[in-house]
Amino acid sequence: MGDLVCSAQFNYLIDLPWLLQQYPPEKRKCPLLVVHGDQKDANIRKAAAPYPNVTLFKARLEIMFGTHHSKMMLLAYREGLRVVIHTANLIPKDWDQKTQGVWVSPLFPAKSSVTPSKSETVVNGGKETGFKQDLLEYLKAYGGRGLEEWKQRISDHDLSAARVRLIASVPGAHTGGEMNKWGHLKLRKVLSTCSSLPCGATPSDWPVIGQFSSVGSLGPAPSQWLTSEWLTSLSSSSSSSASSSKKPRTLTTQHKMPPLKLIFPSVENVRTSLEGYMAGGSIPYAANTAAKQPYLRDFLHQWRAEETGRTRAAPHVKTYMRVSPDQREAAWILITSCNLSKAAWGALEKKGSQLKIRSYEIGVLFLPSDQETSAGHTSFSVATMHPHGPGAGSSSVPGMGMRLVTPFDLPLTPYTREDQPWVWNARHMKPDSKGNVWTPP
């Protein structure tokens, strides 16, 4: 991977001694910047004290209930720079028996005076993805001076080989030109300008799939946020006109919404997981929140990943995607730290004039048109569990580009009549895969 010089780790839960142990022994004294959101930072300052090479940066969280949820590594090597965007906390159990998601960038070369002054925005005929500019904008949003060195280091490298789009969230009441930079409105902007469904596709027939490991308070009815504002963004495409308006508005005034299918572990999925009910400690859906939104269950599907052998590796990954009616194609897929919450994605306020986001989040969006292997295609072929037909088993589908292996099985598995969504602060008394019961305090 390269000769590491220094690194930065952005995360939510950080076990510093364990983290340093994960670096090669000869690299454990390299400069390490840890970006966290622990406002009562006595513990992490105490943990960092024995390590003179570790510098801490506390992200501002001035809006209630916000968290520093972003999970990213910046790795500076003698040979270049690498960016890693992922979903795992920097604690042992997140890297043991769970299903996580990760994007590892190519090794970005330093820009040098001898490098031909090729535009950074065009590589192999690819379109600009704006990744570098968006990453710098994200780091700028932290404020203060503690990230200046890393902003300069990123500026000094050529990131044009990044064939993904950055979809990030930063806390704030974003208005005007700032609104489309963050959260679900950034995704709406990108999808409505850069993602088109295949010719002849009926947008309202292409479901949106959301998969996540926690849920926030979404309102007393799905129409308050989930199937209006949020689904409008995730069902945007250049084939729909939701984006043409200056002011964000819901598709209900324009198009029929597509089906929404959500994947969230059932109690039984957690009970039978490798970790048993302990897995549920990282799936913090609160019973009192669930009780306020019983409608959510109507959208829910089980966590199932037989294709990758990960059905029992509880999900901590978060993915969102748009699929064809037969679930053999995908128009896009997003891997992100965002769970299903307004805090992460943002919620429109003041008659749609501001987008309120509470947390830091970061993810990467894969579009077929951004991938060299599927440029010119409007969809990825999806490796599916369908027993027959073009997507099963083959390396690619004739006429379609890159083949996508999703973290979960397609087609989706609905909840059974008996299934309930996992909630972490309720008793679960049927013995789990380890013979334990779950009786939270």
Which residues have a catalytic role annotated? Answer: 69, 316
Q: Which of 364, 362, 366, 370 is nearest to 183 (CA)?
A: 362
In the complex, the smallest distance separating the C-beta of residue 130 from ligand K8G, rounded to whole angstroms, is 26
CA distances from 427 to 25, 217, 259, 395, 424 (A): 43, 21, 33, 45, 8
In the complex, the smallest distance separating the C-beta of residue 282 from ligand K8G, rounded to whole angstroms, is 6
Interface with ligand K8G includes 68 (CB under 6 A)? no
Count of residues interacting with ligand K8G (CB under 6 A): 10
Contact with ligand K8G (CB under 6 A): which of 70, 196, 214, 233?
A: 214
Q: Which is nearer to ligand K8G, 71 or 82 (CB)?
A: 71
CA distances from 31 to 20, 116, 417 (A): 11, 31, 53
Q: Which is nearer to ligand K8G, 208 or 283 (CB)?
A: 283
Interface with ligand K8G includes 69 (CB under 6 A)? yes
318 appears as a binding residue in the annotation: yes
Q: x/- string (CB under 6 A) for ligand K8G, residues 239-278?
A: ----------------------------------------
Long-range CB contacts (within 8 A, 24+) of 178-186: 179/248, 179/354, 179/355, 181/137, 182/346, 182/355, 182/357, 183/344, 183/345, 183/346, 183/355, 183/357, 183/361, 184/229, 184/230, 184/233, 184/234, 184/345, 184/346, 185/233, 185/248, 185/346, 185/355
Q: Which is nearer to ligand K8G, 89 or 192 (CB)?
A: 89
In the complex, the smallest distance separating the C-beta of residue 103 from ligand K8G, rounded to whole angstroms, is 16
Q: Which is nearer to ligand K8G, 211 or 369 (CB)?
A: 211
Contact with ligand K8G (CB under 6 A): which of 195, 228, 339, 381?
A: 339
Helices (H) and strands (E) in the chain, counts: 9, 20
Phi-psi region of 129 (alpha: psi -120 to 50; beta: other; left: phi over 0): alpha
Q: What is the distance between the alpha carbons of residues 357 and 169, in angstroms, rounded to a whole number?
A: 7
274-313 residues in contact with ligand K8G (CB under 6 A) are: 282, 284
Beta-strand (E) ranges in 226-366?
Answer: 260-263, 300-301, 314-315, 319-323, 329-336, 347-349, 354-357, 361-366
In the complex, the smallest distance separating the C-beta of residue 318 from ligand K8G, rounded to whole angstroms, is 7
Q: How far is CA 345 from the centre of its chain?
A: 10
In the complex, the smallest distance separating the C-beta of residue 339 from ligand K8G, rounded to whole angstroms, is 5
Interface with ligand K8G includes 213 (CB under 6 A)? yes
Interface with ligand K8G includes 89 (CB under 6 A)? yes
Q: Which is nearer to ligand K8G, 284 or 352 (CB)?
A: 284
Q: Which is nearer to ligand K8G, 161 or 274 (CB)?
A: 274
14, 309, 283, 61 alpha-carbon torsion, rounded to 10°: 40
27 appears as a binding residue in the annotation: no
The footprint of ligand K8G (CB under 6 A) covers 12, 67, 69, 89, 213-214, 282, 284, 316, 339
Annotated binding site for substrate: 71, 318
Which residues line the annotated binding site? 71, 318
